[in-house]
A and B are shown apart, each in its own frame.
Chain A
Amino acid sequence: MASSASTAPAPPAGAVPPGGERAKSREISVGALARLFVAPSIITMALVALFPILYAAYLSLFEYRGRQQQGFAGLDNYVDVLTGGRFWDAVITTLIFTVASVAFEFVIGMGFALLMNQAFVGRGVTRATILIPWVIPTVISAQMWFFMLNVNPGFINNLLGLGGFNWLGSEPWALVSIILADVWKTAPFVALLLLAGLQTIPEDMYEAARVDGATAWQRFTRITLPLLKPAIFVALLFRTVDSLRIFDLPAVMTGGSNGTTTLSVLVQRFIVAEPNPGVGATLSTLTFVVVLGIGVLFVGLIGRDLVIGDPED
């Protein structure tokens, strides 16, 4: 449509075509047109994502008593939060949770993905079974794990013969339990992402490697892993960012006690329970900065060539 003017037959040199001025003023460059098309998405994104972030940052600059705004506080909230212990404790808890759960989810998810990628009888059933935990809403599976980890009578204690072992009521087992629940739920998701990656690797690549003399392990490390890099990157990025925001599992299973107060749990506490929306907004903003920072780090370290393209091309 923008080209309607430019594709019109060229007028003889020097002649002013009738309506030429109007046609010219209507002409839009390709770049401008592209921006125009993208604009609705950008505006929507700004409304639903950027606005809350900026608004939280704005709120974090005010002092509150209860839910009543008391006045502009500058960076006082940040000073309080960063010098107090609770924020840093939550950061450490969140990082431990993230590193441990993502690591286990990656290894187990990779195992599942490799399994699901094999052609064997009953593959469909296996795939469906592996994906069940992921389909169950987290709040429900959290409640389920809460019941199973009950002290007495507790399914897991009974099964493992642990008697009155207090999983959720002791450190560090409360955090371990939450990691376990998260791995159980999300490893299938990682498997799904990795499986999608595995299926893009052509079979003859493996056959060529076999003919070249590669063992099964060598095929995995020299062919599968490098070719799976994009999928691995996406899976790790998604899971890391997601884990950093973990809320539902600790909220349901421990309410944040026994060393399970993650950043999101802490935010919720300040906004709802305390309440101190100023500090809550400060914590939200800091959480956002942490997540953003790690995301950027990811793209910078692992994914640069995947996002921007291989410099060799």
Chain B
Amino acid sequence: MARIEFEDVTKRYPDGTVAVHDLNMSIADGEFVILVGPSGCGKSTALRMVAGLEEISGGKLTIGDRVVNDLTPKERDIAMVFQSYALYPHMSVADNMGFALKLAKVDKSEINNRVKQAADILGLTEYLDRKPRALSGGQRQRVAMGRAIVRQPQAFLMDEPLSNLDAKLRVQMRAEIAQIQNRLGVTTIYVTHDQVEAMTMGDRVAVLKKGELQQVDSPQTLYDNPDNVFVAGFIGSPAMNLAEGRVERVGGRLVVRAGSIALGIPDGAVDRYPRVRDYEGRGVAVGMRPEHFYRPDGSVPPDQRFTVQVGLVEALGSELLVHVNTDAPPVLTEDTRQAIDDEAAFAELERSAAGGQSFTARFDPGTPPRVNEQIEVAFRGDYLHFFDLETGAALR
């Protein structure tokens, strides 16, 4: 087990594309870190550089107390779980799991012991003699895990290991992997594009965009205090509503106006984003998470509520997702384009920008509003987020 240290680690391809740019990150011994980001953000490349499958073009990568830049994968003593599992089809489950040990000339009985132990942890004991093709998808995934476990390596590297499983199995394996990692205490880097995996599995989450690290923090910190508009828009599902607004002072109080929506900025929000005071009379990107909307009663002051038209209602049983039409202009920057990670969706947003955008609000279950109905919604102003429109940086 070991600490993993990225110092200005860079990946530049011969054609000049930079996949990973000056990555700096320190992963503690035994820590479970998730690399997350939209497609093409360099998360897999970063992982493959740790594995030694991708040459490091610049910077320094340390595993344990060795600089591994020029070491082969073999010398790095790491185990990797591939998205496709990459099981050897001609070997039995036991041979697949024991292959690395066999190559390392570990004693046969020792290999057997370790394979049995891992099989036990993963519930694979009765399948040890089978070939991979005679296994289900979930079992193959376990074998891939087992192959990593028996190695007792310095670190586990996992490249979207659950993306080939169906939704139900994914939920189950998600918990299992987290448990196994916790139990074995092996330093783990886990690449995913799945929000839920990112939020639930790791100690810390590193968010990447276009090869650059945006923020590394515990999932909750990331969610509550995003460093910039990209992280804000990327983390969270349904995503944070982001609108272009303007900070104004009305009767001694700060107000943010987005389209016809005007919300007072309470002290709680100013405490979290103190620089919002400097933006008086200027444009900002204002962020509102869906769960901080609520249906107001008469006692809610008018500067915390507004009237919108219902566009779509999704009743999920435990909650109610209501898409409401607003005239608040969307934030159309590279940050939000990356955060949406869907060219078609972003193009649609761009096309309809002049007419405002749709906000997603999450309400407690109850009588759902009807489509096209005008409803009043309120927002918990303390949870407003503010970012610079140009740089995307949080106004902290």
A157→B384 CA distance, assembly (Å): 89
Say yes or no for A310: interface residue by CB 8 A criterion: yes
A219 to chain B, nearest CB (A): 10
A208 to B79, CA, bound (A): 9
Residues on the A chain within 8 Å of B72, using CB = 210
Partner of B86, one of A205, A218, A222: A205
With contacts A207-B82, A227-B89 known, is A212 near B131, CB below 8 A?
Answer: no
CB distance from B163 to the nearest CB of A (A): 14
Contacts A226-B90, A310-B131 given: A211-B51 contact, CB under 8 Å?
Answer: yes
Closest to B151 in A: A212
Count class of interface residues, chain B: 20 to 34
Q: Which of A191-238 contact B (CB under 8 A)?
A: 202, 204-205, 207-215, 218, 222-223, 226-227, 229
Contact between chains at A202 and B90 (CB < 8 Å): no
Check A213–B103 contact: CB distance below 8 A. Answer: yes
Task: Name the contact of A213 in the complex, choosing from B84, B104, B133 (C-beta under 8 A).
Answer: B104
Q: Is the interface of A mostly helix, strand, loop or mixed?
A: helix
CB distance from A283 to the nearest CB of B (A): 42
Q: B102 → chain A, closest Cβ, in Å? A: 9
Decide yes or no whether B243 CB sits under 8 A from chain A: no
Given contacts A310-B131, A312-B131, contact A211 B73 (CB under 8 A): yes
Task: Give the distance to chain A from B49, nearest Cβ to Cβ, in Å.
Answer: 13
Contact residues of A between 68 and 95, Cβ < 8 Å to B: none
Shortest CB distance A120–B (Å): 12
Contacts of A209 in B (CB 8 A): 88, 99
**Which A residue sits closest to B51, measured CB to CB?**
A211
* Chain A, Cβ-Cβ closest to B98: A212
* Cβ of A232 to closest chain B Cβ, rounded Å: 13
Expressed in whole angstroms, the Cα–Cα distance for A199 and B19 within the complex equals 27
Q: 1/0 per position for B97-128, CB-CB distance to A under 8 A?
A: 00110011000000000000000000000000
Contact A204-B82, Cβ < 8 Å, known A210-B74, A212-B103:
yes
Residues of chain B in range 53-103 having any CB-CB distance to chain A below 8 Å: 53, 72-74, 78-80, 82-84, 86-90, 99-100, 103
Contact assessment for A208 and B131 in the assembled complex, using a CB-CB cutoff below 8 Å: no
Q: Within the assembled complex, what's the spacing in Å between the Cα atoms of A127 and B348?
A: 46
Contact count band on A: 20 to 34
Instruction: Please measure, in the bound complex, the distance between the C-alpha atom of A227 and the C-alpha atom of B131, giving whole angstroms.
Output: 13
* Complex CA–CA separation, A231 to B133 (angstroms): 19
Asked whether, in the complex, the Cβ of B74 is within 8 Å of the Cβ of A213, the reply is yes
Task: Tell me whether B134 and A213 are in contact (CB under 8 A).
Answer: no
Task: Tell me, rounded to whole Å, the shortest Cβ–Cβ distance linking B81 to chain A.
Answer: 9
A209, B131: Cα distance in complex, Å: 17
B131 near A214 (CB under 8 angstroms)? no
A118 to chain B, nearest CB (A): 16
Q: Which residue in chain A gives the minimum CB-CB distance to B72?
A: A210
Interface: A313 (CB within 8 A):
yes
* CA A222 to CA B95, docked complex, whole Å: 11
B88–A213 touching, CB < 8 Å:
no
* A207→B103 CA distance, assembly (Å): 15
B52 interface residue, CB < 8 Å from A?
yes
Are B53 and A313 closer than 8 Å at their CB atoms? no
Q: List the B side residues contacting A215 at CB < 8 Å.
A: 74
Interface string of B150-184 (1 = CB under 8 A from A): 01000000000000000000000000000000000
Is B84 within 8 A of A204, CB to CB? yes
Q: Does B295 contact A (CB under 8 A)?
A: no
Q: Please determine whether A204 and B86 come into contact, CB atoms closer than 8 angstroms.
A: yes
| A202 and B86 contact, Cβ closer than 8 Å, known pairs A211-B80, A212-B99 | yes
Q: Which residues of B contact A (CB under 8 A)?
A: 51-53, 72-74, 78-80, 82-84, 86-90, 99-100, 103-104, 130-131, 133-134, 147, 151
Return 12 A-B CB contacts under 8 Å, by A number: A202-B84, A204-B83, A207-B53, A207-B86, A208-B82, A211-B80, A212-B147, A212-B151, A213-B73, A213-B100, A213-B103, A213-B104
10 extra interface residue pairs, beta carbon distance < 8 Å, beyond A210-B53, A212-B103? A204-B82, A207-B82, A209-B99, A210-B74, A211-B52, A211-B73, A214-B103, A310-B131, A312-B130, A313-B134
Query: What 5 A-B pairs come out closest when comparing CB atoms?
Result: A212-B100, A208-B86, A213-B74, A204-B86, A226-B90
A residues bordering B, Cβ < 8 Å?
202, 204-205, 207-215, 218, 222-223, 226-227, 229, 310, 312-313
